[in-house]
Structure 1
């Protein structure tokens, strides 16, 4: 017996937290009855679960892929404005969900999987996982601005956690920065750069902890290696279930 939200996550429908939202919204039926309360446990073999009137089964084969997300696509399965989604760039039979998100105009490393436990733990707000970005910005941050960035900034009424920032290249108008954060707030890197007066021109995520985009081309994907999968599971071991 497992909780309904975990069942939905393990089936590749969505993340566990998103599943909770769908349950509360009445999108899930168990044995032909709408469930709107959290906490219900289901039997994987005996109970019949439907999501938006479509039957749901847990994927037996766990898959883990890495996509080099292009700019100009959204990290969702459905798009109301008919824009491209990350799922237009992958061709696998299993249903997977993104581990976290990248903004429409941000490119780079995105992990997708049907492993609900891994998704839940990697995106848990209490777990600090390093994410590395390359940002091209207007202007060149001075020492005082770099220190402010490193120590945390007030954006959207909260203070960001300490971060890392390094100038890789610079000229008269622009600079290229290597930025490392441990949070995943909405458009956080862009807002942090705005807060020190250097608007982002382009942004690419290149690493999640020790998992690197490497030489994977934009718009292409690959399966994670066994070593990469084992590493991700290892760093999640201390996360509470």
Structure 2
């Protein structure tokens, strides 16, 4: 995986979105019960909208329960009938989801340590010329646009940003099993013999193996990457890990802990020297150029 020598030239800065916070992980759906729950929670569980959208719709008078206008904070049971006004559905149809090929040096969410957030790339000048989606760029599309998950500042590839809480829940909800695929270029530093504490001692970092890493990397360590690594005292879910070529691994994960792949690799004597996310669910990065973006097409489903 090679990176272009030139970083994309930042366009004229767009106004920051009204909510630059990433979508928070939604709670998993509650077990089937006849116990009353708040209407906004019930609407999110039914994948009608996000809780934030539900509150907005209720405030606008766009939601009825059993034929009556709903009040904020009302509780409902599974037997209650929820109706949504056409105005709410029309607003939802105009929500956008964009795919950005994030370059190095950009953060996923809010600006930090002098680094710009990836949303600053979402301008007409940076739209991919081959994007055939029906949407036209408008400043309103920055409102509530937030990343669905992170992509580290030193990583590149597919980053999803959306106004649609349903998509956010699908990608990063606590019950999400969405696959995320990465190409990871590595160097092998090796691991020494176990110390008295049982920890493996890292070998000399001054002379890592950077070519044909596959030939020297122990198969047992590859198996450990697939299932057997713990981070922060918690065992990771099984991952699909295979060699893409002698210097590059392919990871497919269904979870996303902070700097997970880099930390996994460190535990088996590998150092990540390049990381690119190429797929989320059924949506591929494809030929989207580095630093450019496109809309999620209506026919595309994660």
Give the alignment's TM-score, normalised by structure 2: 0.57
**Match of residue 278, structure 2, among 192, 206, 210:** 206
Distance 2:21 2:111 in 1: 15
1:114 and 1:71 map into 2 onto residues whose CA distance is: 24
Counterpart CA distance in 2 for 1:87 and 1:189 is 24
SS in 2 for 1:183: coil
Decide which of 180, 183, 201 is 1:131's aligned counterpart. 180
Give the CA deviation at 1:88.
Answer: 1.7
Deviating above 4 A after TM superposition, structure 1's stretches of 4 or more consecutive aligned residues are 11-16
**Cα distance in 1 for residues equivalent to 2:233 and 2:258:** 13
Residue by residue over 1:129-155, the C-alpha shift from the partner in whole angstroms, topping out at 9 and shown as x without a partner, is 111000011123321111111113012
Q: How many angstroms does 1:127 deviate by?
A: 1.5
Alignment CA distance shift 1:14-1:185 (3 Å): same
Structure 1, unmatched stretches of 5+, are 1-10, 21-37, 47-57, 233-241
What is residue 156 of structure 1 aligned with on the other side? 232
How far apart are the structure 2 equivalents of 1:89 and 1:41?
30
Structure 2 CA distance for partners of 1:176 and 1:169, relative to 1, 3 Å:
same
Aligned match of 2:165: 116
Structure having the larger proportion of residues in strand: 1
**1:217 CA displacement:** 0.6
The SS at the match of 1:149 is helix
Residue 51 (structure 1) aligns with: none
Per-residue CA shift, 1:160-188, capped at 9, x if unaligned? 11111111222xxxx21111111011111
Which blocks of at least 5 consecutive residues in structure 2 are unaligned? 1-17, 28-51, 62-87, 124-136, 189-212
Structure 1 contact 12–113 (Cα < 8 Å) conserved: no
2:122 is aligned, of 90, 113, 119, to 90
Q: Please, which of 87, 106, 110 is the counterpart of residue 73 of structure 1? A: 106
Structure 1 pair 118–148 and aligned structure 2 pair: CA distance change class (3 A): same
**Conserved 8 A contact 2:178-2:280:** yes
The answer (yes or no) to whether the contact 1:68–1:220 under 8 Å persists in 2 is yes
Q: Which position in structure 2 is the counterpart of 1:219? A: 291
Q: What's the counterpart of residue 184 of structure 1?
A: 256
- The question of whether the paired residues in 2 share the 8 Å contact of 1:12 and 1:115 is answered with no
Given that residues 100 and 291 in structure 2 are in contact (C-alpha distance below 8 angstroms), is that contact kept between their aligned partners in structure 1? yes
Other structure's SS at 2:270 match: coil
State whether residues 102 and 291 of structure 2, in contact with CA within 8 Å, keep that contact through their aligned partners in structure 1.
Answer: yes
Deviations 1:67-109 (A, max 9, x none): 0000111011x32422121012111421211111101111100
| Rounded Cα–Cα distance in structure 2 between residues aligned with 1:137 and 1:187 | 15
Q: CA RMSD in A?
A: 2.7
Change (3 A) 1:227 1:72: same
In structure 2, C-alpha distance between the alignment counterparts of 1:79 and 1:15, rounded to whole Å: 12
Whole-Å separation in 2 of the counterparts to 1:131 and 1:162 = 13
Asked if structure 2 preserves the Cα contact closer than 8 Å seen for 1:134 and 1:206, the reply is: yes
Of the two structures, which has the highest relative contact order with CA contacts closer than 8 Å and spacing of 6 or more? 2
Kept in 2: contact 1:70–1:107 (CA 8 A) = yes
Residue number among 209, 215, 221 corresponding to 1:145 in the alignment: 221
